[in-house]
Amino acid sequence: MRIDLHCHSTASDGTDTPAELVRNAAAAGLDVVALTDHDTTRGYAEAIAAVPEGLTLVTGAELSCRIDGVSMHMLAYLFDPEEPELLAERELVRDDRVPRAHGMIAKLNELGVPVTWEQVARIAGDGSVGRPHVATALVELGVVPTVGDAFTADWLADGGRAFVEKHETDPFEAIRLIKGAGGVAVFAHPGAAKRGRTVPESAIAKMAAAGLDGIEVDHMDHEPETRARLRELAGELELLTTGSSDYHGSRKTCVLGEYTTDPEVYGEITRRATGASPVSGTGGGHSF
């Protein structure tokens, strides 16, 4: 079984529509794929309707969190998308995205970059606008060669010259909300040092005590020694370990299924979740 538990669609900053994502996942030979757009469940209906036979879709989201000034992402799986408390928190984060993009554009204009809101909005299309869309605009304008090159202190990295903070959820609150909605909480790419400061292990231990289910270990932003240490830590804290592509379509270089999750871990995630069930493609209707 090939299981990829972290993928983005055009509902946030991926380039595949939700329907394209599930079709591409099947074509890539995956058995299970998770749709985990940033702070939104907007892609669910389209993805669920398009799940091909032989593929199982895990619904989820990647929630923007912050602890002691360090930004981090929390993956939430199989929660009830209608649960009002978690829904309200996602809306709070999402409603902050447009003013934040305007703020980054204003800072870039001050730095002499002629980026406009119209350009960034066009790039975002139907997706909830985010920093990668601003980064893509910088590539279009020839300011940087690739999207990744925009995520530096010179431009859009955390604390960078054109960076603007956004509303982010306290991770302990996120864990409480996810569990309250019947979901499973997995700390995304906890050792992604090239994205900025990482969360100390002592904080991960506290999150484990607060109900965190797992940590994402096999991820493109983790060096081999980081993965080894995270696996050790997960053992100490009795956390599940996952592996995922963090696929963004053509916005990033990773491909579907580049890293995968052990079937036993996947089974444990589905056993713990009570908010929603995975959706299997039957070639016909589906139950949810």
Q: In this complex, which beta carbon is closest to Zn ion, that of residue 187 or of residue 266?
A: 187
CB 184 within 8 A of CB 76: yes
Q: How far is the CB of 204 from Zn ion (least distance, A)?
A: 16
Q: Which residue is nearest to Zn ion (CB)?
A: 73
CB 148 within 8 A of CB 165: no
Q: What is the pattern of x (binds Zn ion, CB under 5 A) and - over residues 45-84?
A: -----------------x----------x-----------
Q: How far is the CB of 242 from Zn ion (least distance, A)?
A: 12
Q: 3-state class of 127 per DSSP?
A: coil
What are the two backbone dihedrals, phi and then psi, of residue 159, each rounded to the nearest 5 degrees? Answer: 80, 0
Q: Which stretch binds Zn ion (CB under 5 A): 158-166, 180-188, 232-240, 264-272?
A: 180-188
- 246 forms part of the interface with Zn ion (CB under 5 A): yes
- 31 forms part of the interface with Zn ion (CB under 5 A): no
- 219 forms part of the interface with Zn ion (CB under 5 A): no
Q: What are the residues whose beta carbons fall under 8 Å from the beta carbon of 110, sequence distance 6 or more?
A: none
Q: Contact with Zn ion (CB under 5 A): which of 26, 174, 188, 239?
A: 188
At residue 141's C-alpha, the angle toward residues 135 and 144, to 5°, is: 55
The first and second tokens of residue 49, run together, are 């309707």
CB 43 within 8 A of CB 10: yes
Alpha-carbon span 123 to 104, nearest angstrom: 15
**DSSP 8-state code for residue 42:** T
- 16 forms part of the interface with Zn ion (CB under 5 A): no
- 131 forms part of the interface with Zn ion (CB under 5 A): no
Q: In this complex, which beta carbon is closest to Zn ion, that of residue 20 or of residue 62?
A: 62
Q: How far is the CB of 9 from Zn ion (least distance, A)?
A: 11
Q: Which residues bind Zn ion (CB under 5 A)?
A: 62, 73, 188, 246
